[in-house]
Amino acid sequence: MTPILAIARREVAAFFATPVGWLCLTAFAAISGFFFAMMATEFSVQATTAAYNPYVAEQINLNDWLIQPFFANTSVVLLMLSPALSMRLFAEDRANKSLELLLSSPVTSGQIVLGKFLGALGFVSVMLASTLPLTGMLYWLGTPDTGILLSCYLSAFLLAASFLSVGLLTSAMTENQIVALVTGFALLLVLWVLSWAETIAGGALGQVLAGISMLSHLDQLLKGLFHLADAVYFITFVGVFLFATTQRVEAFRWR
Amino acid sequence: MIHVDQLSKTYGAVDAISGVSFKVQAGAVVGLLGPNGAGKTTTMRILCGCIGATAGTATINGQDVALAPAAVKSAIGYLPETPPLYGHMVVRDFIRFAATIKGVSDVEGATDAVIQTVGLDHDVGGLPASERIISHLSKGYQQRVGLAQALVHDPAVLVLDEPTSGLDPAQRRDLRDLLKRLARAQNRTVILSTHVLAEVEAICDEVVIISGGRVVAQDSIEALRGTGSMIRLRVGQPSDDLVDTLSALRGVSEVVDEGEGRLQLTVGADVRADVAREAAVFDLLELSQSEGLEDIYLRLTGGQA
């Protein structure tokens, strides 16, 4: 096993060994289950209405009324829970002095950062997998568009990767997990709503802000429209934050 | 084997170490002594590649720590003052993890071997210590787990930062015995920092004394004792001839006759062999260097604890 995978595996195991990991998993499963139930109920009411109204019947479908809103809400839940998951990745190691093991081993800072990131992403994948019984039910109830469903899962995965990369950096900036949590959440919130500034700023600046914002890139993916530009945005986003975290870990050696 | 040359480390405006230089031969067991804040831990962390030096070089087997960190780290096992452990892990899993990130090819074999070497196969509450969760173990056993991660890749150099601090006397004795065995059995080069001078005398061949971020002495314990400034002796046949003979010896600056065959010599070099040879003619009964390692340490470090 390579050092990166060994570090990732240890991180996944650490999530399952700590209350925070279980709390996040339980909260995510419970909240997404609640959202799904609410939206399924609403869909069911609308579908009943549609039976007597051909115009509404044309408008209503599983994809627009259930899948997309569900994943849009799931994204917000991920936004809130990701900093709680990522806060301990470096801060705990620094506070417990266990980072010395990694720093004195023949692994590079990049390998350490990548290992921790993949570990956290692995745990979030388990969280996302907890929604599979819900989305699986859609095939029993109707005929959802598998392409849109896959695109929604991909968007949730890319979003989670972006959130965790930001959280990883804030965790590497401090030994205090609460500070890492709060700064991580604040930074994510700013990046999340940046597109709202488009109308205020206007012009070229507004377009730049919208381009940086996560929301504007998420919309297309949730509709099942896979644009290369959106994929490049998320991959670049993650790359930039992982690079910054690697530089931060290098700085531990040279402070 | 280990060559530290003019090593300096600055934190902002504070010099943690300044121009530290020493050499350690392969297979030597060296004690790094010095008061708190003298720069022992900083020196060790630079040697192990955890932090970089502001100036100077540190080489291990001819390889520069800053230029070839991966090769150097593969050759070093480091146990910091606080063992770098993941408390929620089972001991065996933790050692496996350490072996993997240290690039060990036979992870299972190395894990089993090191568990035996450091005594983690002993029963603790009905289970071998190796099968227990780390945070459930005593501090003594946790220190052994820390030692296991430092040894699992069979490094040529072992760097131990105050390995017995915080242990009770029995745990300290056990760990000291283990360190003695480890150092002697495999011809491993060991650098050990401690405040317990008895430990240094029991384990180490040489000492490097650091004070105020600088090396103030490096020598074998025997030679350092020889730099003590007082020799006391007792002979069976007191005589003025002996006083005259000893006074004439090179390195002896003063001889005081305390009566009943007891003499006190003020010396500036290691003259114990010469003194013993001359005193033997007058029935030498006792001869001792009046300064112990502790006195020498306190003199060299300016009496700092």
pLDDT in tens, B217-252: 888 777 776 666 778 889 998 888 898 899 888 888
Closest partner residue to A14 among B51, B78, B88, by Cβ? B88
A149 versus A227: the higher-pLDDT residue is A149
| B97 near A CB under 8 A | yes
Most B CBs within 10 Å: which of A15, A90, A100, as the mutation test of the B interface? A100
Rg from Cα positions in chain B: 23
- Least Cα distance to B189 among B25, B22, B60, B42 occurs for B25
CA separation for the pair B148, A193 (Å, rounded): 49
- To the nearest whole Å, the CA of A109 is away from the closest chain B CA by 11
| C-alpha distance from residue B133 to each of A62, B100, B107, B222, B253 (Å) | 49, 19, 19, 43, 62
Q: Are strands B14-24 and B2-11 parallel, antiparallel or unpaired?
A: antiparallel
Residue A68 has pLDDT above 70, yes or no: yes
Structure-block tokens of residue B5: 């040359």
- Least Cα distance to A157 among A132, A120, A124 occurs for A124
Closest partner residue to A1 among B51, B100, B102, by Cβ? B100
Is residue B9 within 8 A of residue B54, CB to CB? The reply is yes
- To the nearest whole Å, the CA of B82 is away from the closest chain A CA by 7
pLDDT at B228: 60
- CB-CB neighbors (< 8 A) of A175 in chain B: none
pTM: 0.84
What is the rounded average pLDDT of the residues A69-82? Answer: 92
- To the nearest whole Å, the CA of B173 is away from the closest chain A CA by 25
pLDDT at A52: 79
Is residue B213 within 8 A of residue B17, CB to CB? The reply is yes
CA separation for the pair B45, B76 (Å, rounded): 11
The share of chain A scoring above pLDDT 70, in percent, equals 98
Closest partner residue to B101 among A13, A18, A105, by Cβ? A105
Q: What 3-state DSSP class applies to B160?
A: strand
- CB-CB neighbors (< 8 A) of A97 in chain B: 80, 82, 84
How many C-alpha atoms does B172 have within 13 Å on its Cβ side?
14
- CB-CB neighbors (< 8 A) of B71 in chain A: 106
CA separation for the pair B92, B131 (Å, rounded): 6
- Range in A177-181, A197-201, A212-216 the model is least confident about: A197-201
CA angle B289, B293, B294 (to 5 degrees): 115
Instruction: Answer yes or no: do A106 and B103 touch at CB < 8 A.
Output: yes
Instruction: Answer yes or no: do A105 and B97 touch at CB < 8 A.
Output: no
CA separation for the pair A37, A41 (Å, rounded): 6
CA separation for the pair B82, B145 (Å, rounded): 12
| A227 near B CB under 8 A | no
Tens of pLDDT along A113-166? 999 999 999 999 999 999 999 989 888 877 888 888 888 898 899 999 999 999
Q: Does the CA dihedral B147-B148-B152-B154 come out positive or negative?
A: positive
- Least Cα distance to A20 among A120, A152, A109, A99 occurs for A120
- CB-CB neighbors (< 8 A) of A107 in chain B: 101
Structure-block tokens of residue B272: 């114990």
- CB-CB neighbors (< 8 A) of A105 in chain B: 73, 98, 101-102
Instruction: Answer yes or no: do B98 and A101 touch at CB < 8 A.
Output: yes
- To the nearest whole Å, the CA of A128 is away from the closest chain B CA by 25
Instruction: Answer yes or no: do B102 and A253 touch at CB < 8 A.
Output: no
Q: Taking CA atoms, what residue in B is nearest to A97?
A: B84
Average pLDDT over chain A reads 88
| C-alpha distance from residue A18 to each of A5, A15, A200 (Å) | 20, 5, 43
Q: How confident is the model at residue A65 (pLDDT cuts 50, 70, 90)?
A: confident
Residue ranges in chain B modelled with pLDDT below 50: none
Q: Which of residues 80-109 of A touch B (CB under 8 A)?
A: 96-108
- CB-CB neighbors (< 8 A) of A10 in chain B: 86, 89, 97
The share of chain A scoring above pLDDT 90, in percent, equals 55
Q: What 3-state DSSP class applies to A57?
A: helix
| A253 near B CB under 8 A | yes
Sheet of strand B76-79, all strands in order from the earlier edge strand to the far edge: B76-79, B157-161, B189-193, B29-33, B206-211, B214-220
CA separation for the pair B187, B141 (Å, rounded): 24
Residue A214 has pLDDT above 90, yes or no: no
Residue B255: strand pairing partners: B265
CA separation for the pair A136, A133 (Å, rounded): 5
What is the rounded average pLDDT of the residues A31-59? Answer: 83
Closest partner residue to B78 among A17, A104, A253, by Cβ? A104
- CB-CB neighbors (< 8 A) of B89 in chain A: 10, 13, 17
Is residue B217 within 8 A of residue B31, CB to CB? The reply is no
Q: What 3-state DSSP class applies to B11?
A: strand
Task: Please give the interface size between A and B, counted as residue pairs whose CB atoms are below 8 Å apart.
Answer: 76
Beta-carbon count within 10 A of B271 CB: 18
